[in-house]
Amino acid sequence: MKKLYTLAIFAVLAGVSILFYSFNLKKGNTGLAAVINVDGGRISGVKSTTSDVVSFKGIPFAAPPIGGLRWKAPQPVEHWAGIKKCDAFGPSPMQSKPVPFGVYTKEFLIPEQPISEDCLYLNIWAKNNQNNKKPVFVWIYGGGFTSGGTAVPIYDGEAMAKKGIIFVSVNYRVGVFGFLAHPDLTKESPYKASGNYALLDQIAALNWVKKNIEKFGGDPGNVTIAGQSAGSMSVNCLMASPAAKGLFNKAIAESGSLLISNPMIKSLTLHDAEEQGVRLEAALHVNSIDELRKIPAADLMKAPARYSPVVDGYVLPEPVSQIFAEGKENSVPLLTGWNADEGFVFGFKKKDAFQQEAKEKYGKDAADFLKYYPANTDEEAVHSQTKLSRDLIFAISGYKWADIQSQTKAPVYVYYFQHKLPATPEFEKYGAFHTGEVAYAMDNLKFLNRPWKLADKILAKEISAYWVNFITNGNPNGKNLPAWPKYNKSAARVIAFDNIALEKQLPDKDELEFMLKHVEK
């Protein structure tokens, strides 16, 4: 009896303790609560052993998109009993097994397991102190819309949270699970569209942040969305989407937009995307969406197709380029840029073949083309093809975005990352490669196995300080940092990140202007 009495007293005290923590959190009288009540139930986090940051990993923000919810907009999160320990990342979205390639070692990839369709989880890192109304940073990963996840090592949020922001990273569906459109999916949808489940996942996560982030000390009115590569393209789509209006007030976009069609990522019309879905149905020998929903995930991924955002009439009522051209976007301060060596070339042409192709493709402008992308030797032709690839896939779309943004009331700040990461001989040729800036921007060099020098660590402190300043107040400038001017097309002043941060005119401006005019034709 005495033992039962003691247990009862303990239970009452525990309940009072939880109420006390929750009350104090709401009143702003203490740091993070031991237990926080969010949509779905109560959660607990993990205090860092090396700092005053608390992390909450694997928080569900929507119902698992499995079974009958495959290819549906994210549904409200399912409630759970008791206290959910948020001490590990949720599963990464369904995709092929991550395998290192080229310069992309395991630090750039999600862990091999767990990978699942049940993937709609987010993570939060927050400093455990009395300061409420912290600025919020929401990270959207890249991966070509076919891979990626929040558990990538270099996306860890502790270093940025130590600088006084709330760091949030969100999972979203990729590939066939994130972008399949089909006439029957369109018919069953309450908004009469299909194909943009990945973007709807991101919007659902932003809605969750708006409703819940105050409980972690964050300011729901001061939210910066950010992403790299396909994550940057997602940021571009969210700025264009009326469904995301009011969910953020600043944006950071690293290497990517959909303002210019590029060789790797192209938006489809709803009609074309639906036809692709019909072809998938035929290839898998089924006759209905219900049957498609029963096919194992691994079998769905075997059918070759390229998936990306869809001009569905709802999430994207018009092409992104048209929305921006008409000034209908969610106009907010923007920080954007690209890297010097981030082209992707699969099979190089020798100088003669490259010169001949230039004459055939650019006609009377071929001489100008070869001035910007010379090919007097085979080695020079290889370099020019890498540069051309960078421009077509990333740089001219970023250049176009900066130009459009500079003509609005919202400022834009442009960077050019040209710092060659220190590397062993096998990686030296990659230079300032695609994604190379992320570890610097997040001050996460420790998660990347490279022979870092003091200059790298100083550069990481500088870049992450610029990012934190922008996240805080929409302006990257701050104490002890080189001045970063607002961008305008005529002056084209940017911050170049090399061994140091340096304000200068945008490198390659003339070639970008040349290529932009040709692509827009």
Selected catalytic residue, list 342, 437, 462, 511: 342
Please choose, from the candidates 231, 185, 225, the residue with its C-alpha nearest in 3D space to the C-alpha of residue 207: 225
* pLDDT (0 to 100) of residue 1: 42
State how far the Cα of 128 lies from the Cα of 30, in Å rounded to an integer. Answer: 9
pLDDT for 23 beyond 60: no
Active site residue 55: no
Selected catalytic residue, list 229, 257, 308, 389: 229
- Residue 41 pairs in a beta bridge with 38
pLDDT digits (tens, 9 = 90+) for 392-446: 999 999 999 999 999 999 999 999 999 999 987 888 889 999 999 999 999 999 9
- Assigned CATH topology for domain 31-475+486-520: Rossmann fold (3.40.50)
For residue 133, give the 3-state DSSP assignment.
Answer: coil
State how far the Cα of 308 lies from the Cα of 300, in Å rounded to an integer. Answer: 16
Contact 103, 321 (CB under 8 A): no
pLDDT digits (tens, 9 = 90+) for 320-374: 999 999 999 999 999 999 999 998 887 889 999 999 999 999 999 999 999 999 9
pLDDT for 114 beyond 50: yes
Six token digits for residue 312: 């569905």
Enumerate the H helices of 351-452 as residue ranges: 351-362, 366-372, 378-390, 396-406, 438-441
Active site residue 257: no
Selected catalytic residue, list 117, 434, 462, 511: 434
State how far the Cα of 520 lies from the Cα of 512, in Å rounded to an integer. Answer: 12
> Per-domain residue ranges for the chain?
1-30, 31-475+486-520
Please choose, from the candidates 255, 324, 57, the residue with its C-alpha nearest in 3D space to the C-alpha of residue 167: 57
Active site residue 437: no
Average pLDDT over residues 181-197: 97
Which DSSP symbol is given to 107?
A: G
Which pTM does this prediction carry?
Answer: 0.93
